[in-house]
Chain A
């Protein structure tokens, strides 16, 4: 059951939040082996559900109730929460309790949502398979021997397995879109600045963005309406009027008909997103979804993003540079782990960080420290930021020819757990299709597009222009009215 359906049933009084929450909690317990949750807060959730039911009983005029009143969700464990522990998937923050809620958490709470707990993720959101979680990997509900993607892997697993109605994720270089694609769910990374980063444990501040992960575009629109909005506590928050994304999703296009709701929509296909190395099954599912969009009235045009391949080194310079700076706060003094044996202050820092951080986090801190160090800054960091401008300009060139850009989310379907190569660079290369939009700060979405080899889900990526979330949700919704890929559930979980 998705967010919109849960909200409807609650509003119609067909189910109480306590009943719904208890049902989701029992699914969470039954499927604990999927590793979706790092912390399940059963008692707290029931308490929140009771309060939601009481609010509904008191506030007879529905207008006074939050749009998500009583809907069971959960948060990626990268958002700090006052009522539950926050680890960011790291040993460094084992047992950490935040003195405040992240803005996104507070907004969803204010909209009435019930939080079941905290979802597994790659350590500090660094990874594409959830295997960098310091605790345990999350598993793909479609095939539990495969990864759910990352870094929002627990989020993707939870939605795909029906453990929550919807949940939060974060996306720095693809961490909402790629796991959504790998698990057959819908996820949107909004334009940079749409959702507040306050209380989202920082990885790469100029790239990090929160977004919803759920079953459908309709679910995502409902959640995003609650999550988004200006926040004076985030210096890069976009100063805009609040948006009703459900209304945006439903707004019909000029010249649209019932059979052709997307008439006049130009969808750009960057040739670089369909290289020879793209897996046949992914290519097939994506092309079939594009044909479906054509049937709905959209026209496909060829465009080019010539620096797609360059976005890999550009991203893997900028993101680690920002990470090395952000993660310097973990020094064993103010919060988190501290080594037990050390000679002096410097030794305490070094041992604390050596013990608290995992291998991938250390690698990125090393890369970031190096590219920012004296004598290398211009050649690496500055050059990467200049290329980033060129990549953003390439997108604007495309948007003179099309309204939305489409392509695959990832070059393959989800791979087997433990099959990742020892060479971390190989994993970086698989992020090729999600990195360009991240670098430019554009909104991107993964929409279920069918299934590839071994019945594994494939996502269609839609990229919009700045603040074009409504166009993406509209196109995804139209596709989901005509197809049922987003309604499929793994057989073992029915």
Chain B
């Protein structure tokens, strides 16, 4: 099952990537090339197999740790905002979203 140009624009939108028309054609053929090697996966019978989302769970039971509820970090706003493209009085600036 090959992807169509429509699929490419839909995925690009979901991924928040602007891809112009000539790039779309290249992306389409590359993605289809990739999914051709993925097809061999679907032939394997995996019924009853537990997915391995995190590798150490193959060895031991993995649980999300909880930590004590105490203040451990100091917020250094100027340091945290040092690399932001646009800030004003300690706030991150974005284009207007509410009229």
A residues touching B (Cβ–Cβ < 8 Å)? 95-99, 191-193, 206-207, 232, 235-236, 238, 309-310, 312-314, 316-317, 324, 328, 331-338, 342, 344-351, 353-354, 357, 362-363, 365-367, 369-370, 373, 379-380, 382-390, 392-393, 396, 423-425, 428-429, 439-442, 466
Q: In residues 4-56 of chain B, which contact A (Cβ within 8 Å)?
A: 7-8, 11-12, 14-19, 27, 30-31, 33-34, 36-38, 40-42, 44, 46, 49-56
Closest to B20 in A: A354
Could you list 5 further interchain pairs (A-B, Cβ under 8 angstroms) beyond the known A309-B40, A313-B40? A95-B83, A99-B80, A206-B55, A363-B27, A393-B58
Q: Within 8 Å CB of B86, what residues of A? A: 338
Is A333's CB under 8 angstroms from B34's CB? no
Question: Among the listed B12, B17, B52, B67, which residue makes an inter-chain contact with A392, where contact means beta carbons less than 8 Å apart?
Answer: B52
Task: Name the prevailing secondary structure of the A interface residues.
Answer: helix
Is A331's CB under 8 angstroms from B16's CB? yes
The answer for the CA separation of A316 and B39 in the assembled complex, in Å, is 12
Is B16's CB under 8 angstroms from A193's CB? no
The answer for the CA separation of A335 and B12 in the assembled complex, in Å, is 22
In this assembly, does B71 line the interface, its C-beta being within 8 Å of a C-beta of chain A? no
Known: A96-B83, A313-B38, A370-B31. A365 touches B15 (CB 8 A): yes
Is A338's CB under 8 angstroms from B31's CB? no
Is A466's CB under 8 angstroms from B15's CB? no
Q: Within 8 Å CB of A384, what residues of B? A: 41
Q: Within 8 Å CB of A191, what residues of B? A: 56
Interface centre among A324, A344, A350, A396 (most CB of B within 10 A): A350
Is B15's CB under 8 angstroms from A369's CB? yes
Is A365's CB under 8 angstroms from B41's CB? no
Is B67's CB under 8 angstroms from A232's CB? yes
Is A354's CB under 8 angstroms from B58's CB? no
Known: A331-B16, A385-B52, A386-B51. A366 touches B27 (CB 8 A): yes
Is A424's CB under 8 angstroms from B30's CB? yes
Q: Least Cβ distance of A198 to chain B in Å?
A: 12
Q: Within 8 Å CB of A379, what residues of B? A: 42
Task: Name the prevailing secondary structure of the B interface residues.
Answer: loop
Is B56's CB under 8 angstroms from A312's CB? no
B residues touching A (Cβ–Cβ < 8 Å)? 3, 7-8, 11-12, 14-19, 27, 30-31, 33-34, 36-38, 40-42, 44, 46, 49-56, 58-59, 62, 64-65, 67, 76, 79-80, 82-86, 92, 94-95, 97
Question: Among the listed A310, A365, A424, which residue makes an inter-chain contact with B17, where contact means beta carbons less than 8 Å apart?
Answer: A365
Question: Among the listed B3, B58, B64, B95, which residue makes an inter-chain contact with A235, where contact means beta carbons less than 8 Å apart?
Answer: B64
Q: Least Cβ distance of A1 to chain B in Å?
A: 35
Is B56's CB under 8 angstroms from A238's CB? yes
The answer for the CA separation of A335 and B17 in the assembled complex, in Å, is 17
Q: Least Cβ distance of B99 to chain A in Å?
A: 11
Is A390's CB under 8 angstroms from B46's CB? yes
The answer for the CA separation of A353 and B65 in the assembled complex, in Å, is 34
The answer for the CA separation of A345 and B82 in the assembled complex, in Å, is 21
Is A390's CB under 8 angstroms from B49's CB? yes
Is B34's CB under 8 angstroms from A425's CB? yes
The answer for the CA separation of A192 and B56 in the assembled complex, in Å, is 7
Is A366's CB under 8 angstroms from B31's CB? yes
Is B53's CB under 8 angstroms from A335's CB? no
Q: Within 8 Å CB of A95, what residues of B? A: 83
Question: What are 8 A-to-B residue pairs whose CB atoms are below 8 Å?
Answer: A313-B38, A314-B41, A344-B95, A349-B16, A350-B18, A353-B15, A389-B50, A439-B55
Q: Within 8 Å CB of A334, what residues of B? A: 84, 92
The answer for the CA separation of A309 and B40 in the assembled complex, in Å, is 10
Is B65's CB under 8 angstroms from A232's CB? yes
The answer for the CA separation of A342 and B94 in the assembled complex, in Å, is 11
The answer for the CA separation of A353 and B42 in the assembled complex, in Å, is 32
Is A366's CB under 8 angstroms from B58's CB? no
Is B17's CB under 8 angstroms from A317's CB? no
Question: Among the listed B3, B30, B82, B83, which residue makes an inter-chain contact with A423, where contact means beta carbons less than 8 Å apart?
Answer: B30
